[in-house]
Structure 1
Amino acid sequence: MPAQGRHAAAPVRRKQYGKLAELAKNVKQQRQGYMLLAPFFVLFFIFTAFPVLMAFGLSFTYYNVLESPKWIGWENYATLFIKDEVFLIALKNTLLFALITGPLSYIACFLLAWLINELSPKIRTIVTLLFYAPSISGNVYLIWQVGFSGDSFGYVNAFLIKWGFILEPIQWLQDPKYMLIIIMIVQLWLSLGTAFLAFIAGLQSMDATLIEAGSIDGVKNRWQELWFITLPSMRPQLMFGAVMQITSSFAVADVATSMVGFPSPQYAAHTIVTHLNDFGTIRFEMGYACAIATVLFVIMLGSNMVIQWLLRKVGE
């Protein structure tokens, strides 16, 4: 190596060694805190990080559980996007589902939390429970299955026939034209879950002095207060809620399976997760299933990065 190159590389190495020494010093000073966090990090790596890395590695193999994984490179991904027409239908359905239900449920969660926060404590508790109950109730799909039943006894068909909108019952849960829309409605009904409670908690923990200071600084109405004070103060809760809503909108499967069955007619309600369940838990083609899971992970990760960028603009 020329002398000039060695002299240029020396400061870089010294800087790197300095950072490592500073990190080692910080770890030594905060060793009690790191020791308390160690069990969580160990469990997180074993049950979360390691399975994700393992799934990414297996996505480049043919693995049917009974035999050892065989390296096949990019073949699973090529099959997904070129040969697997059902996956393309599932991808389209999932993206459409997420683009509609994700933002709508996120905005609805926050607006309802914001409105409920204005109520008295006792009424607020009751109303919060009423809105949150569907997300924790068992067999909630039964209500919608009865409502959208394909015979004349279904509530929707009975109402439409009685008032002359239709002459014969519509097969709501068997007709591909209506299945995805109905599943979106049910998902929106179920979406007031953890994010909804996080927003209410964030609103309850706000510092009241910020609102008083805002009124002195020229905040004239509730909408300005919402944009310049409330939302910036709730960035952690907004980020948590965004992650939860994105995850639920992209990972929809139980709603589709319970409402229209599996597989759905003409794959009209097929999603990436139902496709993943098909190959992972029924066919046991684990390498291909891991490729599907990796694609879904990349989509979710990209969506979260976009949401983080948008949330940084709040209040500017």
Structure 2
Amino acid sequence: MTVPQRVVVALGGNAMTGPDGSATPRAQREAIAVAARHVAAVVGLGVAVVVTHGNGPQVGNLLVKNELAAHVVPPVPLDWNVAQTQATIGFTLADELDAALAAGGLPHRTAALVTRTLVDPDDPGFATPSKPVGRHLPREEAQRFLDLGQDWEDRGARGWRRVVASPEPRSVVDAPAIHALVDAGFVVVCAGGGGIPVVDDDVAGRALRGVEAVIDKDLTAALLAREVAADTLVIATDVPQVQVGFGTPSARPLQRVSAGEMRAHAAAGQFARGSMGPKVEAALRFVEGGGRRAVITTLEHISDAVRDDDVGTVVTP
């Protein structure tokens, strides 16, 4: 196959924590260092690379801090939490990527960009918040956050959990800046956690403001890949290939598959909404929107996936 010219690599938020889920600063930096070495290997293929990442565990930790300190410090809105985790993960990834690139004898430098993603204020997701975030709490502890106007749901024996809107991403506001950095030779880290959700209150004046929401990181990765003119989207996950019939005796991995075939599998309910479903949907949106190929595979295989159609699950138009 022809090696692509520009690649977007989407890292999961769990790739930013320790193997046991530990989110101490040391565990996060060690995990990010491992991810950085794999991303540097992609850069070493001679392609321009844009990196985006998840932030679920990190936002969850910030929400716990908000809860514990709510009686002393006013909780900050969710868009602020996304911005804070973007900045923290971004600078750490930039540091570790710079080190990995230098160790590989590569001249590139890394730039991390705090990135906004435009959503529609009339998106139906705002009317029915459904994305669970943070930890479970007893009813009496959740009440103080209900009093602050947050949405919480009774999740049975586990307790109450906050739910937030998860609107569709419409555009990556800072795509022109990402383009400029890539064209200048930087490896760019951006759009973490799906991007900071913003709405446009004034179409003519571009009056943007943040909103309380969480955007699906994989769907933003597909949008980002199109908007920065990437020809390949690589989604790193914890399995080497997507499977149909997952968890059944008839389970089988998918290797090379057309968008039409993958769309049919998705329509048949083959992919869980909370795990593989968004990754498959992101891959489909990218290739159906003009992308050349999308690959879903493990972090360890992302550089192989960029240059080899026999690695991971490869989705083509």
The TM-score bracket by the shorter chain reads under 0.3
Larger RCO (CA within 8 A; separation ≥ 6): 1
* Structure with the greater alpha carbon radius of gyration: 1
Higher helix share: 1
TM-score by length of 2: 0.25
